[in-house]
Amino acid sequence: MGLVVMILGLVLFLGAHTLTSQRKLRGRLVASMGEGPYKGVYSLVSLAGLALIVWGFGHYRATGWVQVWNPPTALKHLNVALMLPAVILVVAAYIRGRIYTKLKHPMLAGVKLWALGHLLANGDLGGMILFGSFLAWGVYDRISLKHRTDPGAPPIPVGGVTNDLIAVVVGFIAYLALAFAFHPLVIGVPVVGS
């Protein structure tokens, strides 16, 4: 049951996020609904999808675990190492500096690193579906970004090296919080000693 709910959540969450790459369809929806209602529906569908992913994956982990393969310990350590740049890249998407300018889409790079690391470190069916789906979406979305333009969009202000330093420090602090507080308490899996 949990796996089915998680997959439904993935369809809603990633489907809503994939819709944004379909610029003509998105434009028609915005034209027919209005910008505000479109954003409201988009947010509600995304939030519902995320809630279903979290509930479904948690239920699957508690009641329906299916082990496909046993990843070597080295891949778990690689995952821990990949999470630091992944978190820094997500932060750099909001604290924009040269990292943002160089990568253009650091959040997508961070999501792909997160998904790849977790895909390598988890050998269960639910983990493979969850992290594989996010990795596939990240690759698809990055490719689609190369082919789309938004004429008339105002330029986004970007800072310099100072913003990069702030992104690294904030990212490092967030990484420690995720590793030592969020992951063991909320996910139920300790990062250190696992």
Q: CA 167 to CA 9: how far, in whole Å?
A: 30
The reported pLDDT for the residue numbered 32 is 96
Q: CA 117 to CA 19: how far, in whole Å?
A: 26
The pLDDT tens digits along the chain (194 residues) read 999 999 999 999 999 999 989 989 999 999 999 999 999 999 999 999 999 999 999 999 999 899 999 999 999 999 999 999 999 999 999 999 999 999 989 999 999 999 999 999 999 999 999 999 999 999 999 999 888 776 545 667 789 999 999 999 999 999 999 999 988 887 878 887 65
Does residue 187 sit in the same domain as residue 113?
Answer: yes
Q: Which of 12, 34, 65 is a domain's end point? A: 65
Does residue 14 sit in the same domain as residue 105?
Answer: no
Tell me the three state secondary structure of residue 46.
helix
Q: How many domains does the chain contain in total?
A: 2
Spatial CA neighbour of 186 closest among 65, 25, 67, 58: 58
DSSP letter at 153 equals P
Confidence (pTM): 0.92
Q: Which residue range forms the structural domain that includes residue 9? A: 1-65
Does residue 34 sit in the same domain as residue 105?
Answer: no
The reported pLDDT for the residue numbered 147 is 82
Tell me the three state secondary structure of residue 19.
helix
Does residue 99 sit in the same domain as residue 149?
Answer: yes
Question: What burial class does residue 143 get, using C-beta atoms within 10 Å of its C-beta: 0-12 exposed, 13-18 middle, 19+ buried?
Answer: exposed
The reported pLDDT for the residue numbered 76 is 94
Does residue 102 sit in the same domain as residue 59?
Answer: no
Q: Which of 65, 82, 104 is a domain's end point? A: 65
Does residue 135 sit in the same domain as residue 47?
Answer: no
The reported pLDDT for the residue numbered 154 is 61
Does residue 74 sit in the same domain as residue 117?
Answer: yes
